[in-house]
């Protein structure tokens, strides 16, 4: 994480003001004065001081990853009494989801009470890979894969390109790995609908460097230090 971003996240100044502190020689990293804005901070190991005061990241922010099951909403309430992802997480603070998954899609959701991070990572301009496991009925032709990779045209509008790889084929189903960046509403379902394919299972398994791993359906846990550092490094 860049030094100015680290200082800003510690809550002592804006990022622009943090840059001034660095340029004016008011910041030390591990006891050494630094003036380069390209200095990277390891939040686990490095000691950062501003005018003699040790800086620490706020401890009141929480960052979780959840394995959302099918049949859960990502909104808090739709007025019909359906279950939501917030029914699965016990928290004393109000959480935001970073990105959404539709009712019938399962997999990785990131939850936090850090609104700045949530908005930044979920912003359409954010170029972050989202990886999905997709199972469809039947087989898929190479020509259809090419259409998905180049971006399908839906009602005259071309959807973003995707990385698509066949993982396994059986007589009845095909399993694929799909990677997208923008994550438009129901993008993957719309992509496969455009080439006439029916999705049996759709699961998100990765957002950037944060992976679902072996987390059980309906369970959640805190991000580890590496995952949290990656998440914070995407704050714009």
Q: Determine the 3-state secondary structure of 29 from DSSP.
A: strand
- Does an H or E element contain 24, and which? none
Task: Please give the angle made by the CA atoms of 232, 233 and 236, to the nearest 5 degrees.
Answer: 90
What is the Cα gyration radius of the chain?
A: 21
Residue pair 10/56 in contact (Cβ under 8 Å)? The answer is: yes
- State the catalytic residues: 102
Q: Across the chain, where does the E strand assignment appear?
A: 27-29, 32-34, 48-50, 53-54, 63-68, 96-98, 106-112, 130-137, 153-154, 157-158, 163-169, 173-180, 199-207, 210-211, 220-222
């Amino acid at each position: 994480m860049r030094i100015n971003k680290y200082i800003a996240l510690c809550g002592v100044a804006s990022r622009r003001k943090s840059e001034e502190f660095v340029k004016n020689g008011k910041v030390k990293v591990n006891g050494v004065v630094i003036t380069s804005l390209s200095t990277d901070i390891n939040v686990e190991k490095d000691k950062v001081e501003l005018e003699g005061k040790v800086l620490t990241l706020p401890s009141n922010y929480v960052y979780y990853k959840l394995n959302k099951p099918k049949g859960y909403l990502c909104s808090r309430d739709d007025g019909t009494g359906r279950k939501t992802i917030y029914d699965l997480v016990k928290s004393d603070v109000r959480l935001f989801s970073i990105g959404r998954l539709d009712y019938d899609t399962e997999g990785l959701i990131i939850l936090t009470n850090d609104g700045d991070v949530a908005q930044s990572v979920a912003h359409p301009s954010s170029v972050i890979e989202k990886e999905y496991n997709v199972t469809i009925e039947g087989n898929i032709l190479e020509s259809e894969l090419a259409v998905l990779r180049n971006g399908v045209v839906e009602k005259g509008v071309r959807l973003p390109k995707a990385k698509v790889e066949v993982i396994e084929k059986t007589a009845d189903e095909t399993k694929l790995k799909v990677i997208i960046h923008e994550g438009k509403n129901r993008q993957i379902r719309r992509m496969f609908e455009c080439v006439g394919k029916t999705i049996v299972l759709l699961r998100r398994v990765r957002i950037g460097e944060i992976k679902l791993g072996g987390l059980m359906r309906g369970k959640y846990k805190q991000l580890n230090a590496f995952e949290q550092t990656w998440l914070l490094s995407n704050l714009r």
